[in-house]
Amino acid sequence: MVMPEAAGNGESLPTSVDLAEEYKASGVAEILEELDRELIGLKPVKRRIRETAALLLVERARRAMGLSHEAPSLHMSFTGNPGTGKTTVALRMANLLHRLGYIRKGHLVSVTRDDLVGQYIGHTAPKTKEVLKKAMGGVLFIDEAYYLYKPDNERDYGQEAIEILLQVMENNRDDLVVILAGYADRMDKFFESNPGFRSRIAHHIDFPDYDNGELLSIAESMLDRQGYHFDPEARKLMEDYIARRRQQPHFANARSIRNALDRARLRQANRLFEESKGPVNAQQLSTIIARDIAASRVFEMKTSATA
């Protein structure tokens, strides 16, 4: 039982907080469990999300008890290659921050440079402010944020968008969380060129590439959600596909796997139309066989991109 004490305004404040109970009641546990179910691998990312959740729970408890506290800076940087789950984690982070009371709405607005930067004088400010208006009370996710800054182009208006963003990130940090995302090396250069962003970003989370086994599990999970599955030979061939595809240009982790499965389903559909002489059953309609994978140009090409 929490024993209250009198506050300066006549209200009573708790003298202790059950953090485990707060964790359970807040819904944070549910969000983290969803992350574990939805995202294969990414252990360091999940660990950082859990650590951030713990920090925010403690800060909320300190505030409730009237202890000295300062609103934590929640702006973040997500770095990593394409297809590593950055947008999915941003969605879950928005939900988590809302559950803990750090943002009003918990929605995510995902944008790129084209949504913020205009093509002529006087165009950028209203575009940027309109996006910020939509994002208020939630999370603004800026993918490939480094494209905002183009120092080699004197007629580029990205700097204007940057200045507006920096001002809002500072003045409205209790009502908006900004997540900047992109390749790690390019984000480092972006922060070097824009120290205002670096000083406002408190949480830097790196998203590692998936290994071959994780990518195979992702492929099977994607198929399962669509009501499909590999037969044993197709599964084995998919392992080979993944190993080969990772060595070729423009590989995008889970995104490339999703594209490969879309093409496999296309081949499966055509195979069924061309070869079926009569009715097909549910098993046939739901099974990806080795031939549906083997037709990929990945098995013919060593260094060039695949279709």
pLDDT grade for 302, boundaries at 50, 70 and 90: low
Lowest mean pLDDT among 60-69, 182-191, 293-302: 60-69
Tokens 């070097």 belong to: 192
Domain CATH number, residue 218: 1.10.8.60
Beta strands in the chain (DSSP E): 4-6, 12-14, 76-80, 108-111, 139-143, 177-182, 203-207, 229-230, 287-288
Helix then strand then coil, % of the chain, to nearest 5: 55, 10, 35
Domain for residue 177, yes or no? yes
User: Looking at the predicted structure, is the pLDDT value of residue 234 above 60?
Assistant: yes
Q: What distance in Å separates the CA atoms of residue 119 and residue 160, rounded to the nearest whole number?
A: 12
Range of the domain at 233: 212-299
Say yes or no: 36 and 116 in one domain: yes
HSE-up of 241 (CA within 13 Å, CB side)? 29
Check residue 9 and give its pLDDT: 53
Domain for residue 192, yes or no? yes
pLDDT in tens, 77-102: 999 999 999 999 999 999 999 988 88
Within 10 Å of residue 247's Cβ, how many Cβ atoms? 10
Check residue 6 and give its pLDDT: 46
Six-digit token string for 124: 């950028």
User: Looking at the predicted structure, is the pLDDT value of residue 284 above 90?
Assistant: yes
Check residue 63 and give its pLDDT: 83
Say yes or no: 150 and 217 in one domain: no
The residue from 175, 207, 239 where one domain ends is 207
Say yes or no: 106 and 182 in one domain: yes
Domain for residue 88, yes or no? yes
Averaged pLDDT for residues 181-208: 92
pTM score: 0.85
Say yes or no: 153 and 194 in one domain: yes
Say yes or no: 89 and 144 in one domain: yes
Say yes or no: 263 and 189 in one domain: no
Question: Distances in Å between the alpha carbon of 206 and those of 123, 166, 212?
Answer: 34, 22, 19
Domain for residue 44, yes or no? yes
Element of type H or E holding 69: none
Say yes or no: 46 and 124 in one domain: yes
Say yes or no: 96 and 220 in one domain: no
Which of the pair, 303 or 282, is modelled with greater confidence?
282
Check residue 304 and give its pLDDT: 44
Please report, as a single letter, which amino acid is at residue 198. Answer: R
The residue from 207, 234, 250 where one domain ends is 207
Percent of the chain with pLDDT over 70: 93
Say yes or no: 164 and 229 in one domain: no
pLDDT grade for 282, boundaries at 50, 70 and 90: very high
Say yes or no: 171 and 59 in one domain: yes
Mean residue pLDDT across the chain: 89
Please list the alpha-helical segments (H only) found in the chain.
19-26, 28-38, 43-64, 86-99, 113-116, 124-135, 158-171, 184-193, 195-200, 212-225, 232-245, 254-275, 282-286, 290-294
Say yes or no: 75 and 111 in one domain: yes
Check residue 66 and give its pLDDT: 80
**Count of domains for the chain:** 2
Domain for residue 218, yes or no? yes
- The DSSP bridge partners found for residue 4 are 14
Say yes or no: 39 and 164 in one domain: yes
Rg (CA), the chain: 24
Six-digit token string for 57: 């729970």
HSE-up of 175 (CA within 13 Å, CB side)? 9
Backbone angles phi, psi at 84, to 5 degrees: -105, 10
Domain CATH number, residue 141: 3.40.50.300
Averaged pLDDT for residues 196-205: 91
Domain for residue 251, yes or no? yes
The residue from 184, 207, 230 where one domain ends is 207
